[in-house]
Structure 1
Amino acid sequence: MADIVPFPRTPRRPADPEPLWRHLLGDQLRRRRHDREETLTETAEKAGVSPQYLSEVERGLKEPSSEMIAAIAGALDTSLIELTSAVADELRSAPASASASASASASRGAFALAA
């Protein structure tokens, strides 16, 4: 039999959850709409969606289809690639994700093996 080696009991800080795509997308859309000084109704009308739906997308409550994202991006005179790049840039600059925290823990020797 193998020896059981106890791990030190150190308080673990909960890892910050990685931000969700829909939240960052909504923030980006709202920011662009505000930069244009448009109301929800004005932008929604141009995109062919309801103001309520656009509001839910901006608040990260809806997971819009690619067609909806393209329609809203078009209404804001931006392209899908510009919008996607801006969201990706925000993700890159977001606080360390749970997976990055786990990698850092493992590199400090805080890991266990299971058979």
Structure 2
Amino acid sequence: MAQIVLIILWSFLFVIPGILKGISYSQAFYLLKDHPEYTIFEALAESRRRMHGYKWRYFMLNLSFIGWGIVVSFTLGIGSLWLSPYLFTTQGVFYDKYIALEKGN
């Protein structure tokens, strides 16, 4: 029993860091839009730097859309025609409010 618990706990080491890095790199697209002179690696590094202190807020923002995702699954994906623009607009506003303005963009 303990072996199974330890295996499950160690397997989280691969999932959780992946989620954290995904959140850290989430603003790279917006940074490339604002700074076309950046290379992709510079944008990823800048995104990681600017997301410092905002990861939890961004995670909770995206977690708030879980209910809408469940509703979309009941509509066989048709509801994503309304949910996707809403989600992407919300993420863009997050960038404008926290990442672009407060970090001196």
RCO higher in structure (CA 8 A, sep ≥6): 1
**Shared fold per TM-score greater than 0.5:** no
Q: With structure 1 as the length reference, what TM-score do the two structures score?
A: 0.26
Larger radius of gyration: 1
Q: With structure 2 as the length reference, what TM-score do the two structures score?
A: 0.27
